[in-house]
């Protein structure tokens, strides 16, 4: 829905003299009041946290919107010279930061020369100076925002706006709670939409609100929402029909998945072949000899350690494979150290810290290249030998299917959490209280669901109901 129509609907909402009640909520969507309450709590805490850790950028109120977005929603807002200058400095600092990172990545035989060192020093001093000034100006702006002049601080008004915007997001995302919350976050906090809406930046917000909403919403309210638990019933698609949306080569894979599905009678939540085909498409693009950059293999991209846990007998795991993983970990560690040093550079000790930062970044690059070299070696040796069970189509599908079924049941039919666990491991779900904020994991979840709903559309299946 475009911004013009959104603004029209918001303006209509603002004409009401009282906040929307459940009976008045748009399109008869129940639960908006609870969602708005949970979001208001989260946003209030998020603003307080941003003020403590110097990431505050001028957001205000329970909507946690910046003044530009607030104005787009039809609210009267405060924009002062402090805010304008702070925003300008913040943007300039980010641009300089990227130039610093690029500079640290440049290889320099014999170390950094005097001229390059001086340039990086000037950049770091400028970056830290602009960032500190922006932090102070944003804090000063915060003190200038007053309820009588800025409607972002009018809780009743913003609650109406919040409910209206939530309704728009829920309609747009067909009542899929996670994606609707992500879309709401993008349009309010970031001021723009994304497709798909779930991103590493908003996943903490989505996890928190989703988790609390599931706990606190009544069964009656929850009936109207999609919690990423839509699973096809056994008889919802005839066995001979669903495979016709795939090419003849892929139907052979589908036959294997279907046999597993029909044989697996004990799990409470059953992985329909359509969903698992979507997973395989994302994992390997249906390539039975696909090998990832970190050693995942086959149609279902199973890692060596996971393969052994699943009972696969022939798994190629040379002694250098853990070393490749350790090199990758060290590459990330050295990079983090380099970027941390950048934040502490000043005129007194700046040159020495920049030398250290450059050295750390070069070490990161070296370890990353070492890791890549070993993983490439692993791929060559694996494919030349061809003895790994993960390269066997039947075994790859069977063990991948059983593992995903295990994840789906562990997370009580929540497809998104099962997909995230398949990609990042189930312990990460517990660590982050939901989907981990890893770009790879978020993209994996988004793409598999996209393919899944695409397949359901081709089969003229409308989401609704759970397979038991």
CA–CA distance, 103 with 300 (Å, rounded to integer): 39
pLDDT of residue 28: 67
Q: Is 428 exposed, middle or buried (0-12, 13-18, 19+ CB in 10 A)?
A: middle
Q: What is the pTM of this model?
A: 0.90
Whether pLDDT at 75 is above 70: yes
For residue 464, what pLDDT is reported?
Answer: 57
User: Which residues are within 8 A (CB) of 122 and not within 5 positions of it... i.e. 6 or more apart?
Assistant: none
What percent of the chain clears pLDDT 90, i.e. is strictly above it?
Answer: 84
Q: Which residue has the higher pLDDT, 263 or 63?
A: 63
| pLDDT classification of 265: cutoffs 50, 70, 90 | confident
Model pLDDT for residues 305-342, shown as the tens digit of each residue: 999 999 999 999 999 999 999 999 999 999 999 999 99
Average pLDDT score over residue span 275-302: 97
Q: Looking at residue 333, what is its pLDDT?
A: 98
Q: Tens of pLDDT along 136-153?
A: 999 999 999 999 999 999
Give residue-wise pLDDT tens across range 354-371: 999 999 999 999 999 999
Q: Name which residue leads in pLDDT, 466 or 385.
A: 385
d(CA 168, CA 159): 14
Give me the chain's average pLDDT, please.
91
pLDDT at 230 over 90: no
Give the model confidence (pLDDT) of 92-142 as tens digits: 999 999 999 999 999 988 888 999 999 999 999 999 999 999 999 999 999
Residue 398 has pLDDT above 90, yes or no: yes
Q: Between helices 415-424 and 273-284, what is the axis angle to 10°?
A: 40
Contact 214, 226 (CB under 8 A): no
Torsion of CA 337, 339, 343, 346, to 10 degrees: 80
Separation between Cα atoms, residue 236 and residue 214, nearest integer Å: 27
Predicted pLDDT of residue 264: 81
Q: Is the pLDDT of residue 3 over 70?
A: no
Given a cut of 80, is residue 79 above it in pLDDT?
yes
- pLDDT for the residue numbered 437: 97
Q: Which residues, 6+ apart, have CB-to-CB distance to 150 below 8 Å?
A: 60, 61, 67, 70, 75, 76, 77, 78
Buried b (16+ CB within 10 A) or exposed e, 135-165: bebbeebbeebeeeebbbbbeebbbbbbbbb
pLDDT in tens, 22-74: 333 445 688 999 999 999 999 999 999 999 999 999 999 999 999 999 999 99
Chain segment 153-174, per-residue pLDDT in tens: 999 999 999 999 999 999 999 9
pLDDT band at 462 (very low <50, low <70, confident <90, very high): confident
Statement: residue 256 has pLDDT above 70:
yes
Length of the chain: 468
Higher-pLDDT residue of 459, 42 = 42
Q: Tell me what pLDDT residue 131 has.
A: 97
| Amino acid 22: pLDDT | 39
State mean pLDDT over 453-468.
75
- pLDDT score for 463: 66
């Amino acid at each position: 829905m475009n911004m013009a129509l959104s603004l029209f609907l918001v303006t209509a909402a603002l004409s009401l003299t009282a906040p929307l009640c459940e009976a008045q909520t748009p399109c008869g969507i129940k639960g908006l009041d609870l969602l708005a309450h949970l979001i208001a709590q989260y946003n209030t805490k998020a603003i307080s946290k941003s003020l403590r850790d110097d990431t505050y950028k001028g957001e205000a109120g329970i909507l946690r919107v910046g003044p530009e977005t607030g104005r787009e929603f039809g609210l009267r807002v405060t924009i002062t010279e402090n805010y304008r200058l702070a925003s300008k400095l913040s943007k300039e600092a980010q641009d300089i930061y990227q130039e610093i990172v690029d500079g640290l990545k440049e290889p320099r035989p014999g170390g950094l020369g005097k001229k390059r060192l001086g340039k990086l020093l000037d950049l770091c001093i400028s970056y830290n100076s602009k960032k500190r000034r922006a932090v102070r100006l944003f804090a000063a702006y915060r003190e200038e925002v007053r309820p009588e002049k800025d409607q972002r601080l009018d809780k009743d008004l913003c609650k109406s706006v919040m409910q209206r915007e939530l309704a728009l997001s829920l309609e747009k995302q067909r009542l899929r709670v996670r994606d609707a919350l992500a879309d709401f976050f993008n349009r309010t906090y970031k001021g723009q939409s994304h497709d798909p809406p779930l991103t590493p930046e908003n996943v903490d917000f989505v996890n928190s609100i989703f988790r609390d909403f599931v706990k606190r919403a009544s069964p009656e309210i929850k009936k109207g929402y999609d919690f990423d638990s839509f699973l096809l019933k056994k008889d919802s698609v005839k066995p001979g029909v669903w495979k016709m949306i795939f090419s003849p080569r892929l139907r052979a894979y589908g036959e294997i998945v279907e046999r597993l599905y029909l044989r697996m009678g004990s799990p409470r939540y059953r992985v329909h072949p359509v969903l698992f085909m979507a997973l395989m498409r994302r994992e390997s693009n249906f390539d039975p000899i696909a090998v990832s950059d970190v050693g995942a293999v086959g149609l279902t991209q199973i890692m060596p350690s996971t393969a052994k846990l699943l009972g696969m007998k022939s798994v190629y795991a040379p002694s250098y494979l853990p070393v490749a993983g350790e090199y990758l970990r060290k590459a990330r560690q050295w990079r983090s150290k380099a970027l941390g040093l950048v934040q502490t550079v000043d005129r007194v000790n700046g040159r020495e810290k920049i030398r250290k930062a450059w050295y750390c970044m070069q070490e990161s690059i070296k370890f990353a290249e070492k890791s890549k070299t070993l993983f490439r070696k692993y791929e060559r040796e694996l494919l030349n030998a061809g003895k790994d069970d993960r390269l066997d189509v039947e075994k790859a599908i069977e063990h991948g299917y059983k593992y995903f079924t295990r994840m789906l049941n562990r997370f009580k039919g929540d497809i998104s959490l099962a997909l995230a666990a398949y990609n990042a491991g189930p312990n990460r779900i517990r660590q982050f209280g939901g989907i981990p904020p890893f770009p790879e994991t978020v993209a994996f979840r988004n793409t598999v669901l996209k393919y899944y709903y695409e397949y359901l559309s081709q089969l003229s299946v409308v989401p609704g109901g759970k397979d038991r």
